[in-house]
A = this chain, B = another copy of it.
Amino acid sequence: MHDKLDKFMSEKITIIDERLHQLLSPIDVSATLKSAMTYSVDAGGKRIRPLLVLATLEDLGVESVDAVTVACAVELIHTYSLIHDDLPSMDDDDFRRGKPTNHKVYGEAVAVLAGDALQALAFDGLTRLESTPAEQVVQIIRLLTEAAGAQGMVGGQMLDMEGEAKPLTLTEMETVHVHKTGALLSFSIEAAAILADLNEEKTQKLKEYAWNIGLAFQIKDDILDITATTEELGKTAGSDTLSDKSTYPSLLGLDGAEERLARHHQRAIDSLEFLGTNDSLLSLFADYIVHRKS
């Protein structure tokens, strides 16, 4: 990984983790519930969504004391969605990132509730911003409800489940990803644009960037499922092929998928031209997404 991005990520992950624990710390009604929530928050994610919030602001040269809290809100939504996705009635996964899934440790009922409480906590965090005007706070909360709910992530998860029963076209598959994965990634970048009070034209460029890295992210995931080992992934490799799931490689072939990945990567980079530099964190992020090994 590029040194600049590497340094940025390790520095910021510490700050994100600290703030996540601060947000969890007042919880004292049920110790088990708090423990279950904390378990999944600490389960070693790559923190891509919160890092994107911070990277966008850094590239824009804007400082906001509220950036880390906004970053944590999207990570809490992402975390809750993983807990619920792993449930026996959903993907029925026993392991995630090499650790037992929430319901394997705490049982299904607690896992449902821990997910529910993490969703509420995400929005709660956003009501505690310190220096952001209330109008913008409301705007950010709405952006997250849309990204997280039936018109965003949850809608995408639903389409994904419905899609498992039948082969999807490329367009249908793209619709799944734009909602299931893309919505939260876009939130990260758009929320940062709101905190930075960015103008409409530049915000539009960042949205293009978000759209393209969202799809690149998913294409890379599909490719890794074929080319990486189970050990590298921390989850079962080749599971898409086994489940006959429509993926970019299954629809386009591995070469076609690589080509499409390169195209979205290039478009993401192009949309960052307005930043006036070649080594913005966001462009390094795009490189990272495309070249990652897991």
Could you say which residues of chain B place their CB within 8 Å of the CB of A135? 134
Could you say which residues of chain B place their CB within 8 Å of the CB of A161? 109-110, 113
Docked-complex contact B89 and A155, CB < 8 angstroms: no
Could you say which residues of chain B place their CB within 8 Å of the CB of A139? 127
Contact of A117 among B108, B120, B150 (CB under 8 A): B150
Nearest Cβ distance between residue A94 and chain B, in whole angstroms? 16
Interface range for A: 35 or more
Question: What is the oligomeric copy number?
Answer: 2
Interface membership of chain A positions 76-102, coded 1 if the CB is closer than 8 angstroms to chain B and 0 otherwise: 000011001001111000000000000
CA distance A115 to B115 in the complex (A): 11
Nearest Cβ distance between residue A24 and chain B, in whole angstroms? 9
Nearest Cβ distance between residue A88 and chain B, in whole angstroms? 8
Docked-complex contact A27 and B151, CB < 8 angstroms: yes
CA distance A250 to B27 in the complex (A): 30
Docked-complex contact A113 and B154, CB < 8 angstroms: yes
Q: Does A159 contact B (CB under 8 A)?
A: yes
Interface membership of chain A positions 159-199, coded 1 if the CB is closer than 8 angstroms to chain B and 0 otherwise: 10110000000000000000100000000000000000000
Question: Which of A28-36, A45-53, A54-62 lies at the binding interface?
Answer: A28-36
Docked-complex contact A120 and B154, CB < 8 angstroms: yes
Docked-complex contact A121 and B150, CB < 8 angstroms: yes
CA distance A145 to B228 in the complex (A): 41
Docked-complex contact B112 and A90, CB < 8 angstroms: yes
Query: Footprint of B on A, CB under 8 Å?
Result: 26-30, 32-34, 37, 80-81, 84, 87-90, 107-110, 112-113, 115-117, 119-121, 123-124, 126-128, 133-135, 137-139, 141-142, 145-146, 148-152, 154-159, 161-162, 179
What 6 additional pairs, Cβ within 8 angstroms, besides A32-B158, A117-B149? A28-B151, A29-B158, A32-B162, A88-B89, A89-B107, A138-B138
- 23 A-B residue pairings within 8 Å (CB atoms): A27-B150, A29-B155, A30-B162, A32-B158, A33-B150, A34-B150, A84-B116, A87-B109, A89-B112, A90-B109, A90-B112, A116-B154, A117-B155, A120-B148, A120-B150, A123-B123, A123-B141, A123-B145, A124-B142, A126-B141, A127-B145, A128-B142, A134-B135
